[in-house]
Each structure stands twice: as C-alpha cells, then as structure tokens.
Amino acid sequence: MPKITPIEMGRPRVLEFFAGIGLARMGLEKAGFSVVWANDIEKDKKSMYDRQFGESTAHSYSLGDIGEVGASDLPGGTSLAWASSPCTDLSLAGTRKGLAGSQSGTFWHFVRILEELGEERPQSVVLENVTGLATSHGGEDIRSAIKAFNELGYSVDVLAIDARRFLPQSRPRIFLVGSQKPPEANEEGPSELRPEWMQWIFADPELRTHRAVLPSPPAPNTGGFSETVEEMNLNDSRWWDSERTEAFFESLSPIQRARVLSMQKGVEVKYRTAYRRTRKGKPVWEVRPDDISGCLRTARGGSSKQAVVRLGKNRFQVRWMTPLEYARLMGAAEYDLSAARTNQALFGFGDAVAVPVVEWLAENYLLPLIAGTLEAPAFQGEVRKYG
C-alpha cells in the first residue's frame, strides 16, 4: 500500500507569535497554511486555544514570556512568521509609549528571534497592529520596525485593512508584510489598502519597501450587526433591570435620547451598540447610530466593554454584549466557548485579529508571495465572501 502524505505536509508552515486565542491561525489555515508553533504569555488565552484546536504532534504551543524564547525552540522549515504584538502602548486607547513600552516593546524579541534564525528565518513575516503604529512617536516607531525588518533582509509592504470590509465591526488594523523575495509588480499612489495618510512610508528613501498589486477588498459593510445578535428571551436575566436601564438613558445626550426614543417607537426591532465614555468628567453612554459594532476591546475596565441596545415596538432594553456575539463579530462563530468564562472570552476576542481579514490577506497576498506568483491580482471578477 503506498504511503499517504498528510495534507498538512504540503502546506506552508507558520510560526504564530503572540498567538492569543488563535484567530490568526484560524484565518491562515482556512487559506491553506499550517500553523506549527505558537507562543503567548496569557494562561487564559492558551486554555481557550487548546480547547479550540486540541493537541497535535504537528503543533506546539510555548506558554510564557517571548523574551525566554530562542531560535532553538522553534521548528524548522517554516515559510511565514506572524506576529500580532501587543498594541497597549501604540493604541489610541493606550499609553502610546511606542515600541519602547513594556508590552509593545516585545516586538524587539520577535526581531531578535528572527535574527537568531539566520538563514533559517522564514521567507515572509507579518506584523499586525493598530493603525496608531503609523503615527506613534511621529512615525518613528513604524520606521524603526520597517528598518529592523530591512536589516534582516525583508522588503516591507504596509496595508491598512478594516474588519468592517468583512464583518459588521469597525476594527481598522495595519499590516506590515515583509518578504525576502518581494514581487516586482508595484502599485503606485493611494488606494483602498494604502490610503493617503501612509504614502510617506513608501516615499522614505531610508526604507526598503514595495507595493504588491492586489485585488480590491470587499466594500465596507453598512450594516449587519443585528444579524450577529444572540437570540435570548426578553425576560432573560442578562437584560438590565429598569433602574439600570433608566440610568443608561439619562446619561445620553439630548440628540442621542431623541434618536433612541424614535427607534423605540418604531414598528421594527433594531439593535445598536453602545460605549461608556467620560465627557467633562462624567461617565456617559453613547449609542452608535448605525447597525455596525464599535471596535471590540479587551474587557479590562468597564469603559472597554460594549453594550447591546434593543429598540422597537415600544421596548427599550440594554445588556452587555455576550461572548458568542464577540466571536461572531470576529468571524469566529464556530469557536468553542463551552469552557470559557465570560471575561476570559471577552478579553481573548477583544485582543485578537479578525479571522476573515487574515484569511483574505493570506489567500490574496501571503500564499502567492511565498509561491512566487504574486505578479498580478490573485483573481478577477466575482468577489469572494469571507466570514
């Protein structure tokens, strides 16, 4: 009987740094990659990761500080290194200490490990982060990151992709795609993936960059959040009581109150999301006017949690967003949540990258890049749906 080669053996192998609960892995493997190694420091994230993916001799997960990981700890024969490094010090919601910060500074350990790999380092790398990376320290942080990749032999492309193109969630992110064998085809000027505000990066003579020709991503969604809402009884205990709901309403601005009252009186049931903000020293709630979720965030601190508002048929109800809704809004509706605590799940998803964004990037850019076939748009004609 002839030997049967497992399908994973023919797939490009990936190292997944700052893996979290594995949403990058989900997107990469949907596109045809095989993630063979992962690392993260959070035990709660690893427990969710293990529950979702199980154990396999073809994959290992290194739990602990990336500062303690060395090249000798990694499997060989990999084509891609993916890093969704912590964004705390780069995000507009964070301290903006830049890449020198205690958490986002872990990026430099990623660079160190790549350097240690020498000729065995992957052909391509991806750094995913918040768009604040492009402006942190007046742009010096992203210049430093690109220079670091350049010194390791990678030319770098920079893309801005909002998860809203695939999901009903506003979640803009930036992707640095490094390649030791960049494509010859170049795209000039601003585009959907490389807007005007990032053109200075490609014009910087000190940086080695490229702009791959890619297909246009799907247009941004204008609705769809209501379709992700978890079904539950109107008397479910997760809906806030009348006193708490009234306090929510009283905190709204006059304009928002009028909008909420109008939707409450409507014959159609509508769902909206809301964030708690601080305005003039006072905590207030702000309800989004559209059928799109705000950017999901980690659930550490009440202001980062997002509420769901149900309006229509003379009813007005409010509750916290559920883990299943978080999963759906990240393109991971099938994620195994059976053993996850609520805050554990909210933190895991709020600190992750949206699955269909990774899948689109992997299918249309990373796979052809590694195969050496990225000279023209990956496809033309009908746009494929993701998520």
Structure tokens at 78: 């990999």
The catalytic residue among 19, 21, 87, 193 is: 87
Compute φ and ψ for 71, nearest 5 degrees: -60, -35
Q: Is 295 a catalytic residue?
A: no
For residue 310, what are the β-bridge partners?
271, 317
Cβ-proximal residues to 176 (8 Å cutoff; 6+ apart), any chain: 125, 126, 127, 128, 129, 142, 145, 146, 149, 156, 157, 158
- For 221, the 3-state DSSP assignment is coil
Q: How far apart are CA 269 and CA 230, in angstroms?
A: 14
Cβ–Cβ under 8 Å, residues 295 and 171: yes
Q: How far apart are CA 20 and CA 23, in angstroms?
A: 8
Cβ–Cβ under 8 Å, residues 63 and 43: yes
Q: How far apart are CA 7 and CA 218, in angstroms?
A: 30
Structure tokens at 193: 């993936």
Task: Please identify every residue annotated as catalytic.
Answer: 87
